[in-house]
A and B are shown apart, each in its own frame.
Chain A
Amino acid sequence: MSLLTEAPPRRRPVTPPMTHEAPQTPASGDAAPAGIPAIQIKGVDFSYGDKQVLKDVTLDIPQNQVVAFIGPSGCGKTTLLRCFNRMNDLVPGARVTKGSIIIEGANIADKSIDPVQLRRHVGMVFQKYNPFPRSIYDNVAYGPRTLGEKKKAALDEVVERSLRRAALWDEVKDRLQDMATGLSGGQQQRLCIARTMAVDPEIILMDEPCSALDPIATAHVEDLILGLREHYTIVIVTHNMQQATRVSDSTAFFYLGEMVEYAATRKIFENPSNKRTLDYISGRFG
């Protein structure tokens, strides 16, 4: 099982640089998302100590789709996101108490799964951009180097490809040795996305990736997300519902630890089936 291997070979051939062609129109149907699931969540309960924060959550996240998690603070959406790469393992007392999460056919809670390898397959971008205090080049090369890549030509290729996919290459190609922290906020966040992509994950988790960015930087990141769908499965937690409508194919609404509704984004925002969803997206939550 690939999640167990120490340094799996790259599964995809080297792809040509991304272009900035218009992204495909998101799925227009109302039905729940279909396709081969990249992540299967089956009846998951999750608790922080005695406090249950997820209740019987079940959903499939299809490959090469952008799925948005929305809901009020404390509804469990970030907790679920952090389950996908076992980031919650680092929190004392936090655990999945029921159900399973299947990625690449494996239950990620299985003892044979190496969380470090899991996180290579399931990358994460955080709310606050967090580049290392090193050069732009070193930030992107950090992951491959950690995985044992030493050849400069190979590293150069990974750095360029990742920065191109992050739509950042043209802006930084002449200053790769500059400090990453000297970039603008939006550029730093896209650098973090490039750093995530450098280890060739299948799934990218984004926890409010634009909440610290201005509208222009946010637009750059959203444009990037739409383009990345071709290569990755993306799960994004956002409080910005316009952002969810712009970038996601499907949206799941969470409330008090329950997944209330999961459907095509267009369906959720045009004609949701559940009144709690309608009240939340239209600003009526009291």
Chain B
Amino acid sequence: MHSDTPHILREFDQAFASLRNEVIAMAGQARLNLERAMQGLLQRDLERCKAAIADDDEVDEAELRIDRIGMETLVRFHPVASDLRLVITSMKCAANLERVSDHATNIAKRARKMLSRSECAEVSFLEPLYALADQQLRDAMSAYTDRNAELGQSLQLRDKDLDKMHKRLIATFTSRLEEGGERAEDYLHLVFVARSLERIGDLAKNIGEDAVFLDQARDIRHEKLNRPVSDEVGAE
């Protein structure tokens, strides 16, 4: 449950609005970095790659700001219930977004290396994976901002689709890599880019799980670990 009733202390509401706005702004910057990195790769645009790498610092600084505001909020206001969950979730969300931006940087660096070589047609294979990862990241942030547990929980299943697509791509790239030839280095870069996009899907799923906790105080992380041991053995 969440209350829209204003707090008696105006500074309380200001601090919480500030925390929430910082997370939303950080998410925007992390997504922008990812977009620039992928456009840099797909459209062979070095400037966008450089911008994605340079702007990672802004995301890092945003993470520090969010942690500082979160700590101050905890110390000053001793929030409970949905307010406490907002602080905890915001700080965890910031950590996940920082990792998203790190992966965007990795992609931009791989793209930069690929730009020094002739164009590789298979780069376009990554577009659907990027579209899926980006959509999941957007939905994860919507789940956080709207306190939408249903949307947040849906990311668990959708991440499996992304994993399957990632697996297929890796199989394609590695088989071509094994064939050798002058394109081998490009395929290696594409494997790493695909891996980063898959990890971004995982991070979006984490944010979605935290959004469920924010909305409903339910911790749905690692739910598969609660399956009976016999199931795990059977799966193996």
Contacts and interface: CB of A to CB of B under 8 A. Distances in A.
Interface of A: 241-242, 245, 269-273, 275, 278-279, 281-286
For the complex, would chain B's binding face be called helix, strand, loop or mixed by DSSP majority? loop
A270 B3 contact: no
B192 interface: no
Interface of B: 1-3, 5-9, 12, 77-85, 216-217
Contact of B1 (A273, A283, A284, A286): A273
A271 B81 contact: yes
Contacts of A271: 1, 81-82, 216-217
21 contacts: A241-B80, A242-B78, A269-B80, A269-B81, A270-B80, A270-B217, A271-B1, A271-B81, A271-B82, A271-B216, A275-B3, A278-B2, A279-B3, A281-B80, A281-B81, A282-B7, A283-B8, A283-B9, A283-B77, A284-B7, A284-B8
Contacts of A269: 80-81
Contacts, number: 50
A34 B12 CA distance: 36
Nearest to B4: A284
A245 B12 CA distance: 21
Contacts of A283: 7-9, 12, 77
Given A270-B217, A273-B1, A275-B1, A282 B6 contact: no
Nearest to B216: A271
Nearest to B84: A270
Contacts of B6: 284, 286
Contacts of B9: 283
A286 B8 contact: yes
A44 B45 CA distance: 76
Nearest to B6: A284
Given A241-B80, A272-B1, A275-B3, 10 more contacts: A270-B81, A270-B217, A271-B1, A271-B216, A271-B217, A272-B81, A278-B3, A282-B81, A282-B83, A283-B7
A249 B211 CA distance: 28
Contacts of A285: 8
A86 B84 CA distance: 39
A279 B216 CA distance: 16
Contacts of A245: 80
Nearest to A281: B80
A285 B226 CA distance: 39
B80 A284 contact: no
Ordered nearest first, which 4 A-B pairs have the shortest CB separation?
A: A271-B217, A284-B5, A269-B80, A278-B3
A264 to B, nearest CB: 13
A283 B81 CA distance: 11
Nearest to B9: A283
A193 B80 CA distance: 30
A275 B81 CA distance: 11
